[in-house]
Amino acid sequence: MTNSFSTRIKQALADPQLRSNFRGAMDFLRNKRRLAFSDEDEWEALKKQGAAIRQDAIQRLPELLTQLEQQCLNNGIQVHWAEDDQDANNIVLGIAQQHQSKLVIKGKSMATEEIELNQFLEQHNIECIESDMGEYIVQLDNEKPSHIIMPAIHKNTAQITELFENKLGISTPEGDVDALIGVGRTILRKKFEQADIGISGVNFAIADTGTLCLVENEGNGRLSTTAPSIHIALMGIEKVIPNIKALPTLQKLLTRSATGQHITSYLNLISSPRKPDELDGPKAVHLILLDNGRANISQDEQLKSTLSCIRCGACMNHCPVYTRIGGHAYGSTYPGPIGQILTPQLKGLEQEGELLDACSLNGACGEACPVEIDLPELIRILRHRRQVDVHKPWSLEALVWFIWLQVHQYPRLYRLTTKFAALFRSLKLKTPTNWTNTRTLPKPAKLGLHKQMQRHSKTKSEAEK
């Protein structure tokens, strides 16, 4: 991704295939979610509970994380702490080297995308294969996921058929999704048989029992965490929840918001490696707790609700900007509204602040969020900070808003301005922005709204007399 954000947006907007793929997918997912939450009262009640559980957990992170660590250790799970991506990658590499592993199989995990684990392991001659069908497709085409739940959402069936033909030399009948999935199944089963390390993310980690919860449909998550002799789980430190009683609420909110399913095919609770009397399961389980900027977010009173996120993807599914430009244009691991607030906080406003521009503050993401993160407000706060901290105080935008403020503060000035606007309405102004390249500049009315209202009420009162 060397192009600038605006170039990538232009490219995405000019790609009719991409736009139709996203339009179709977003309509599908929104509709499924709407049906899953058809009971408005239930939705409101669940959302309140979900938000309360997450906020409470974020408030108690030090306590819950140390409890989780202790319980995991008691259960025989080895716990590692990683301050950043480098730390986390090196921990994985260390385990792989210790076992002379050359093949790693991975279940879908956005945290591993965040630390770019695949690329890192590849540099050290360790092959890391994605086993989620969508992730496998994306990896096959040397791409990154364009959606956090459905990684290959930007491709349609025909494009995937062609990809399999080109990269794997396997042709399948046109439009035959079952055949494509069959191909993936056969190839990846071999990998599950061969791989000596399985890597997964964590959807929720239960502190008081030391349990890792994984939510999935395909069974690749279960295979990745069962077939290889070593399982490494990577989780952001915010994913901890106090106890299993919090799980039903969060599970309902997560799967319904993500794909409109009341539950996924599998919910996998892992609390221990293979015990001496057991016959299968990994012989060692490692849990890596990744900070990578999260602890600092938790200390920011205005922004800490960012960490409540359960990664359902509903915000991007409902975002009019995401729907039009797709996930790749953002150029960040997490696209859409959650990516717009998370990425600048993880990587700095200076570097990633321009992501915040891609928002109309329409509010759809905030309404869709199942844990009541006020995404539009967070975007607004970050925009403000960017303006204050990063931009020069006298940018053109600041100047325009300064004038706007003056005009709206003083009624006389306001009346004068509107009067002039009406007076010179037929002048064709050359604006310094790109706005008019694709749009017609609106023409001020002959009479301002105030004048029109005055006349209106005058004629009305005369008529009443």
Partner 1 sequence: MNKARNAILTRLKKQTKPNSNKHIQLTSKTSQHLNTEQTLALFIEKLKENRAEVHYVNHKNWEDTLAQVALDRRLNTWLLGNNVSKIEQAGRALTSASADISIIHYTPDYETLKKTLFHDIDASITLAKAAIAETGTLVLIPDQNEPRMMSLIPPVHVVLLKACDILNNFQQLVDNPPWSNSKMPSNIVFISSPSKTADIQQTLAYGAHGPKTLIVFILS
Could you tell me the smallest distance in angstroms from the CB atom of residue 61 to partner 1?
5
- DSSP symbol at 233: E
Total number of residues shown for the chain = 465
Q: State the CB neighbour count (10 A cutoff) for residue 93.
A: 17
Q: Which residues contact 140 (CB under 8 A, 6 or more apart)?
A: 163, 164, 167, 168
Q: State the CB neighbour count (10 A cutoff) for residue 461.
A: 9
Residues 163-182 that bind partner 1 (CB under 8 A): 177-178, 180-182
39 scored as a contact of partner 1 (CB under 8 A)? yes
Judged by beta carbon, residue 9 or residue 310, the one nearer partner 1 is: 310
Could you tell me the smallest distance in angstroms from the CB atom of residue 262 to partner 1?
5
299 scored as a contact of partner 1 (CB under 8 A)? yes
Residues 239-298 that bind partner 1 (CB under 8 A): 243-249, 251-252, 259, 262-275, 277-281, 289, 291, 295-296, 298
Judged by beta carbon, residue 155 or residue 383, the one nearer partner 1 is: 155
Could you tell me the smallest distance in angstroms from the CB atom of residue 397 to partner 1?
32
Longest distance between any two alpha carbons in the chain, whole Å: 97
Q: Segment contacting partner 1 (CB under 8 A): 188-196, 362-370, 394-402, 427-435?
A: 188-196
Judged by beta carbon, residue 276 or residue 442, the one nearer partner 1 is: 276
Judged by beta carbon, residue 298 or residue 345, the one nearer partner 1 is: 298
Q: Segment contacting partner 1 (CB under 8 A): 47-55, 382-390, 404-412, 424-432?
A: 47-55
141 scored as a contact of partner 1 (CB under 8 A)? no
Q: How many residues sit in the footprint of partner 1 (CB under 8 A)?
A: 100
157 scored as a contact of partner 1 (CB under 8 A)? yes
323 scored as a contact of partner 1 (CB under 8 A)? no
Could you tell me the smallest distance in angstroms from the CB atom of residue 195 to partner 1?
12
C-alpha span between 195 and 297 (Å, rounded): 36
- Asked if 361 and 141 touch (Cβ cutoff 8 Å), the reply is no
Residues 198-217 that bind partner 1 (CB under 8 A): 208-211, 217
C-alpha span between 358 and 376 (Å, rounded): 12
C-alpha span between 289 and 237 (Å, rounded): 6
Judged by beta carbon, residue 210 or residue 370, the one nearer partner 1 is: 210
Could you tell me the smallest distance in angstroms from the CB atom of residue 388 to partner 1?
21
For 6-42, letters b (16+ CB in 10 Å) and e give eebbeebeebeebbebbeebbeebbebbeebbeeeee
- Asked if 431 and 396 touch (Cβ cutoff 8 Å), the reply is no
Q: Please name the amino acid found at residue 76.
A: G
